[in-house]
A = this chain, B = another copy of it.
Amino acid sequence: MDSIDRIRAFNRFYTGHLGLLSRNYLGSGLGLTEVRILHDLDATEPPRARDLALGLGLDEGQVSRVLAGFGRRGWLERRPSEVDARVRDLGLTAAGRQVVAELRAASRAALAEVIPVARAEVVARTLAEAEAALGRGEIALRDLAPGDAGWIIERHGALYAEDEGFDVTFEALVAEILGAFLRQHDPARERGWIAARATLRLGSIFVVAEAPKVAKLRLFLVERSERGTGLAQQMLETALDFARGAGFTSIRLWTHESHRAAGRLYARNGFRLTEAHPVQSFGQDMVTQAWERDL
């Protein structure tokens, strides 16, 4: 079962599990479409009819009829816009907002019934990550927070096991490096960043001191999904800027020959290959490289 099949399996499971397709939505007498439109209408900046159709993937005619229905029921006011007379400004009435509030409460109650309270937290966390994985939200570079170090270790362990066949001693090394860093480091000269989209972590990069004037780049990792997007370049620049500002005059890093894309990134950013020799580590034969550049 490949990734696409897994996603399809989830879709079937989820639609079934939550009854997303239910007609008479939560006994309100409204259809799912009406509920979705109502929800969109209840925003600080109410949308135009056209936006509703586009945003929800509906026929404009249908939206028009639904809105007319809301008007008839006294939930919605529609008056010609003063800026553009083709457009009708939409605004929920107090009664309309009341209906939305009731629907929201009913929806919450229905969900709470299907999902045990204790589970809601994990479910929300994993779904939020899935949402971010689907590309929702902006990527930000931030400082380390509790839990991040573990994630860095997990992803180094998992990705290097898949890509290079490394055994768990590599994960052990990463754990020890990070343990030592967290326990003690000079915040003025040493720092780690996490790239994340909402709660979904996408990459890590660290600058540590190797010598008074020589910095070292470590634990530079970017998830496969974000490779080739320019994120790695942005992270590298952030790290180099910090190292420069912290008074280092040069920076070094160690990597493996098999990381071709990483090598190209370093070369493009002024690093020179200064060392390369075969080693046997983490259960695999490979060629380690040292790269260096002035700051």
Contacts and interface: CB of A to CB of B under 8 A. Distances in A.
Given A146-B158, A182-B169, A5 B118 contact: no
Indicate how many identical chains form the complex: 2
A190 interface: no
A161 interface: yes
A86 interface: no
Given A118-B225, A179-B176, A182-B172, A39 B12 contact: yes
Interface string A85-123: 000000000000000000000011001100110111111
A225 B118 CA distance: 5
Contacts of A18: 11
Contact of A150 (B4, B107, B126, B153): B153
Given A171-B149, A175-B179, A7 B111 contact: yes
A9 B124 CA distance: 10
A224 B122 CA distance: 8
Q: Nearest 4 pairs between A and B by C-beta?
A: A150-B154, A150-B153, A175-B179, A172-B182
Given A7-B123, A13-B136, A116-B135, 8 more contacts: A3-B123, A7-B124, A10-B124, A13-B131, A126-B130, A149-B175, A150-B152, A172-B178
